[in-house]
Structure 1
Amino acid sequence: MSSSPALSARGSRLALLVVGLCWLAVLFDGLDMFIYGSVLPHLLETKTFGLTPDTAGDLGSYATFGMLIGALTAGTVADRIGRKKLMVGCVVLFSLASGVCALADSVAVFGLGRTLAGVGLGGLLPTAISMVSDYAPRGRAALTIGLLMTAHHAGGILSAYVAKWLIDPVGWRAAFWVCVLPLLFAPVLAKFLPESLSFLVAKGRTEEAAALAARYEVELPAAKSGRKTAADRWDALVGLFRGGEWTQTVLYWLASFGGLLLVYGVATWLPTLMRAEGYALANALTFVVVFNLGGIVGMLVAGRAADRFGAPRISAIWFALTAAGVYLLSVHMSTGVTMVVVFLTGVFLNSAQTMIYATVSIRSTPDNRATAVGWTSGMGRFGAVFGPWLGGQLLAAGNGEWGFTAFALAGVSSMVFIGIAALRGTRQTPRTSGQELVGAH
């Protein structure tokens, strides 16, 4: 069934609104996530709170442990109360938690703030991915998700500049006060972000869905028979293991574990490891900017490639290239060559993990998409917890040069798991077609 040009035009504007608002939310998510790694070299050099490398690794793991909790619960909660409400709540939570970090007078209070921030950060990302998947144009789901994820790396770039501009003249606490500012964005998100049409229809809120569809002149998704009741709220999770789905689910989870170990290990320790290699603090933070610029390029390139060749195949190739790039960072090179390697590593590393999410999202049905993405992200968060801790332990033991090698091995493992999933995927029909994406007309 084709849509009229008017419906397509208004649907495109609706998609632009949803992606734009989610992009800003994920920008703040990236800022809050990367800010710790950006200020960490200063905290270690000044021995703030008596910080040591192993303690710093523990603090990095606190945030990712909070993200684990947020990611594991976000999908189920979003499928029950709605993606919009959860996104607003997550922005409020990680903004206020940054205020706790800014006011902290001990490692314990600072760690509490990072843990609470992690809960909000972990809940926001899979929810935003599910939201834009609902409204993505037909055949452009992976590209739309890649576009969304450029915001995460834009936030990483912003975090490096916040640290460079504020630490010396004002102090590290000012960087965390900047991370409180997204609190002002929460009312904007609550007012202008529409709820997922597929969620409203799945919950039987047809009048609300019809009003929203009429407002933007878009078509409603077809209502599914046998709508779930509250007693069946775990059915979406159980569905990930029915029949032959369990092997794909486990492969995605294992790939996500290695991918997030790599992503958050590098995100936390890149400036510090580069500082240990003899680079000045300003140059070490410049590597963060270059790394995230690569991430933005990678998201756009990977999204288009995944829409054409398949997200799992692109993810496997990207992880192989990531492992090579991360390993090269352990080799002493000229500054110019190192910049190129850092940029290319950023291109492949970040988008490799995102294409795992894209694969899961595209192959999930609208009523369990948030659960599928959330649990894939959540299982990966165990790797995200382990990565910062591992880097801290290696530095504390005087084996910092092994940090990049360990992270490279994680990339190899993810390449293997998502590669097997890609091979299996060639013999399976994806669970979602382009017509099932809300806004695809």
Structure 2
Amino acid sequence: MNQSPASAALRPPHTFRTVFPVLALCWLAVFFDGMDVNIYGAVMPHMLDDPGLGLTPAIAGTIGSWTTFGMLIGALTAGNLTDWLGRRLMLVASVTLFSVGSAICAMAGGVGLFGFGRFFSGLGLGGLMPLCLAMVMEFAPPRRAALTTGLLMTSYHFGGMAATGLGLTLAPAAGWRWVFWAGVLPALIAVPLLLALLPESPGVLLARGERDKADAVADRYGLPRPTAVAAPAAGAKGRLAAVRALFRPESRWATPLLWLASFCGLLLVYGVSTWLPQMMRAEGYGLSSSVSFLMVINAGGIVGLLIAGRTADKFGAVRVSAIWFVLTAAGALLLKAHLPLGVTYAVVAVTGVWLFSAQVMVYAATNSVYRDSERAAGLGWVTGVGRTGAVVGPWLIGSLASNGNQSWGFTTFALAGLVGAVAIALVPLARRIGRSDTQSPAPVAATTGASTSGA
């Protein structure tokens, strides 16, 4: 359906102002995502001191991996369910799942039920992030995808700071269970707002055959009307085709590199979010200071995302991500040394500037690798495969902690940063190789006098 000149004149301009409601609602959802992910790390020292729960460092690491394994399943299945429910209702379902999971954790009398609650939360957490990223990138103004992604992801770190605040104030006064009861708030606050105010994706509406609704949403927010090329294919066959498209010649070498970079980035994000307070406590810092480090590193993450978004729009997400990974590795090695408390706070804050936005810029880099119709699938798989790093990180650091080798955790983080830097830095080369593979050799003239005009 072509757009008439009259309707084009009535469309608002495609700016941050017109798409602010979508960004704000997704920001709120990711805020609660960050709060739920970081709650476990913020209260873990208190839980380890609770003899009635029976939590040990090894079990704590395993439960952290259960959470991220749930995220892996949630991330990989959200796309198929989106065909049926749409992105809007899937976001609502995701928030509801991790809120219910938090309630299960609050009521758990032992580590078994608590672990189930964290796994249940992970199902919702895993689906939410790729959905929100796909939504804001679809609604983002032209040439502002990296900045919009960075603004969205600041909410994750504000949520992490909120979780740390609850761990510092509510857990000592009322017990760690009340911190998990606070994790039920997303279902009471975010779900009604998402249902009432969040629009459906125009691309998803078009893929479901709802052309008029797709055009209406696009016109309301100043977006270009979706075309069949931009719409994700629906159904199981469409989903399989979308995955195959990630390995078309232009991107078949870049895709596994993005997956490896995402693996390293999420190993860092979830390893640090789960274990930083306990690792710093093992290094000799006090309980309050150790938990405070989680707030400081999330505050650094907010600053880093604001810097990274603008820098990536100017210099490219790939270049920024690679540099940020290297700086993260340097920060992790500095944390291995027992520095004065004030210096340690500064190192933690600066490391947070690089650590979290290195991973977010991997997501932003997919915008230059995949076509519009592949973006949601590309993001989903970069996020989903990367979740294996989120599974490995908490388990690996927990295994080291159970053997008294917490300091090796910082070395592990540094190695992950270096590998992530190499992987993302190779993406442009991989794309060039892929493009060269698609070019046919020039025809050879059959005779000396053959024309070469137009070659």
Gaps of 5+ in 1: 430-441
TM-superposed deviation, 1:400? 1.1
- Map 1:1-150 to 2 at 5 A: 7-9=11-13, 12-79=16-83, 81-150=85-154
Cα distance in structure 2, aligned partners of 1:276 and 1:244:
47
Does the CA-based 8 Å contact 2:12-2:220 persist in structure 1?
no
Q: Does 1:295 align with 2:309?
A: no
- Partner SS, residue 372 of structure 2: coil
| Deviating more after overlay: 264-273 vs 48-57 | 48-57
Cα distance in structure 1, aligned partners of 2:167 and 2:234:
48
Cα distance in structure 2, aligned partners of 1:414 and 1:218:
34
Q: Which residue of 1 aligns with 2:214?
A: 209
TM-superposed deviation, 1:199? 1.8
Q: Which residue of 2 aligns with 1:243?
A: 249
Does the CA-based 8 Å contact 1:257-1:383 persist in structure 2?
yes
Cα distance in structure 2, aligned partners of 1:302 and 1:217:
26
* Partner amino acid, structure 1, of 2:115: G
Cα distance in structure 1, aligned partners of 2:219 and 2:49:
58
Q: Which residue of 1 aligns with 2:425?
A: 419
Cα distance in structure 2, aligned partners of 1:426 and 1:339:
42
2:173 to 169, 172, 183: 169
- Map 1:150-299 to 2 at 5 A: 150-184=154-188, 185-216=190-221, 218-224=223-229, 228=233, 230=235, 231-299=237-305
| Deviating more after overlay: 382-391 vs 9-18 | 9-18
Q: Does 1:354 align with 2:363?
A: no
Does the CA-based 8 Å contact 1:75-1:375 persist in structure 2?
no
- Partner SS, residue 321 of structure 1: helix
Does the CA-based 8 Å contact 1:130-1:361 persist in structure 2?
no
- Partner SS, residue 169 of structure 1: helix
TM-superposed deviation, 1:275? 1.0
Does the CA-based 8 Å contact 2:202-2:226 persist in structure 1?
yes
Across the two proteins, how many residue pairs are aligned to each other? 429
TM-superposed deviation, 1:11? 5.5
Cα distance in structure 1, aligned partners of 2:326 and 2:428:
14
User: Residue 356 and residue 49 in structure 1: after superposition, are their counterparts in 2 closer, same or farther (change >3 A)?
Assistant: same
User: Residue 7 and residue 163 in structure 1: after superposition, are their counterparts in 2 closer, same or farther (change >3 A)?
Assistant: same
Cα distance in structure 2, aligned partners of 1:353 and 1:171:
33
Cα distance in structure 2, aligned partners of 1:355 and 1:311:
5
User: Residue 372 and residue 80 in structure 1: after superposition, are their counterparts in 2 closer, same or farther (change >3 A)?
Assistant: farther
Deviation digits for residues 46-75 of structure 1 (CA, Å, limit 9, x no counterpart): 345211111110011110110111111123
Does the CA-based 8 Å contact 1:256-1:356 persist in structure 2?
yes
Cα distance in structure 2, aligned partners of 1:384 and 1:24:
22
* Partner amino acid, structure 1, of 2:341: T
Cα distance in structure 2, aligned partners of 1:176 and 1:243:
47
Cα distance in structure 1, aligned partners of 2:148 and 2:77:
24
Does the CA-based 8 Å contact 2:324-2:355 persist in structure 1?
yes
- Partner SS, residue 195 of structure 1: coil
Gaps of 5+ in 2: 436-455
Q: Which has the larger radius of gyration?
A: 2
Does the CA-based 8 Å contact 1:141-1:362 persist in structure 2?
no
Cα distance in structure 2, aligned partners of 1:363 and 1:77:
25
Does the CA-based 8 Å contact 1:11-1:218 persist in structure 2?
no
Of structures 1 and 2, the one scoring higher in RCO (CA 8 A, sep 6+) is 1
Cα distance in structure 1, aligned partners of 2:52 and 2:334:
32
- Map 1:330-345 to 2 at 5 A: 330-345=336-351
Deviation digits for residues 157-192 of structure 1 (CA, Å, limit 9, x no counterpart): 000001111112111000000000100121210110
| Deviating more after overlay: 193-202 vs 70-79 | 70-79
Cα distance in structure 1, aligned partners of 2:146 and 2:371:
15
* Partner amino acid, structure 1, of 2:168: K
TM-superposed deviation, 1:227? 8.1
- Partner SS, residue 234 of structure 1: helix
User: Residue 224 and residue 241 in structure 1: after superposition, are their counterparts in 2 closer, same or farther (change >3 A)?
Assistant: closer
Cα distance in structure 2, aligned partners of 1:379 and 1:176:
28
Q: Which residue of 1 aligns with 2:443?
A: none
Q: Which residue of 1 aligns with 2:399?
A: 393
Does the CA-based 8 Å contact 2:229-2:372 persist in structure 1?
no
* Partner amino acid, structure 2, of 1:66: G
Q: TM-score, normalising length from structure 2?
A: 0.89
